Amino acid sequence: MRKRKWIWWLGGGLVLLVLLCSGTTLLLGLSGRSAMPAAGAVEGDFEMAKAAPFMEEPAAIMPEMAVGASRDLPMDEMVADEALYNEAPRDRMVIKTADLAVVVEDPRAAQEQVVAWVEAHGGYVVSSSFSERVLPSGKRVLYGELQFRIPADRFLEAVETVKSLAVRVDREDIAGQDVTDEYVDLEARLRNLQAAEEELRRLLDEAANTNEVLNIYRELTRVREQIEVLQGRLRYLKESVAYSSVRVEFIPVEADEPVSIGGWEPQGVVRDAIRALLRAGQVLVTGLIWIVVFWLPVLLVLGVVVFLVWRLGRWVWRKAVRPHPSRDEAPRSGP
């Protein structure tokens, strides 16, 4: 009887271990899938966008609108519209930007050369400014700042042109923002709103009384406002993709001369020390995040499992090695 009991305990421990491992695997799988969008998320958003103009103030819209919508927008057109939304990916739409800080002999002359090059290659100046600053030595120097937009196909050429005028490049940051998904989504929403606007205009012409006219006109005005907002955003994205933005800071040579003592530059040493400190801090913070987020939960689960197995094994060992009286030995009778 005792042997069966410890066998049941051992089996229960093994089952618990299997359940813990399975649960951990399941949680990891669910966390991986939760980071991905659901398969029907795009289609659901598409249908919600179609119904959005009619979701507000349902009592104000006459029942004839639903009938008219189903009559004027047959299912085949709705399917075709959704097919356009899910069409093959177009060329990626990327907004390119650059931020440069260059050291030049003459900031004013360099800035004028860049402006002339930009205007000659189809770009335009967004802002241009000069400012005087006083150096620690008391000398007054001129700084320049320029921001311009250039056709996207000449973006890298513009960056190289600016760098070619520099004695040294102190900063060069180039970035790109992919807005393809946003543009496609805005186009689909715009098509839906335009279809709703056409339907509302038809219902406005067929309205039978003043109350219907006012309700439909109010809804038509709201849809028109949304259309204008989407059209403005689309124009902005188109222009931002077609014309890349470049910002340049022109630094005079006098203001950027490093302090040098016999060829030794303290500025460079300080800069290298700061960079090493930042790298060390990054490594420490990254390790701390891994310990708190990953290793502590894993070690906690493993510790619980090891503790249970250890307790079970200890209990089984005690049961196995505990001496039992021999069944063959008869109890001694008293005298």
* Per-residue model confidence as pLDDT tens digits over 64-107: 343 333 334 443 444 444 444 444 446 789 999 999 999 999 99
* For residues 33-52, average pLDDT: 40
Report yes or no: 50 and 79 within 8 Å, Cβ to Cβ.
no
Q: What is the percentage of the chain residues whose pLDDT exceeds 70?
A: 64
Contact between 115 and 225 (Cβ < 8 Å): no
State the pLDDT confidence band at 13, using cuts at 50, 70 and 90: low
Better-scored residue on pLDDT, 189 or 279: 189
Token representation of residue 45 = 């958003």
pLDDT-derived band at 52 (thresholds 50, 70, 90) equals very low
> Does position 298 have pLDDT exceeding 80, yes or no?
yes
> Comparing 320 with 153, which gets the higher pLDDT?
153
C-beta pairs of 82-86 under 8 Å, 24+ apart in sequence: 82/43, 82/46, 84/188, 84/191, 85/42, 85/46, 85/184, 85/188, 86/42
Which residues, at least 6 apart from 249, have a Cβ–Cβ distance to it below 8 Å? 100, 101, 102, 143, 144, 145, 171
Instruction: Supply the pLDDT for residue 296.
Output: 82
319: pLDDT confidence band, cut at 50, 70 and 90?
confident
Characterise 100 by phi-psi region: left (phi > 0), alpha (psi -120 to 50), beta (else).
Answer: beta
Cβ-based neighbours of 184, under 8 Å, separated by 6 or more: 85, 90
Extended strands (E) in the chain: 94-104, 124-134, 140-151, 168-178, 243-252
Do 185 and 84 touch, CB atoms closer than 8 A? no
Out of 8-17, 80-89, 211-220, 287-296, pick the least confident: 80-89
How much of the chain, in percent, has pLDDT values that exceed 90? Answer: 41
Q: Phi/psi at 127 (nearest 5 deg)?
A: -155, 150
What is the pLDDT of the chain when averaged over all its residues?
76
Predicted pLDDT of residue 90: 60
pLDDT tens figures, 195-226: 999 999 999 888 888 888 899 999 999 999 99
Please compute the mean of the pLDDT values over residues 225-229 and round it to a whole number: 95
Q: Report the residue count for the chain.
A: 335
What sign does the CA torsion over 273, 279, 282, 287 have?
A: negative
Least confident piece of the model among 23-32, 54-63, 207-216, 325-334: 54-63
Model pLDDT for residues 145-187, shown as the tens digit of each residue: 999 999 999 999 999 999 999 999 999 999 999 999 999 999 9
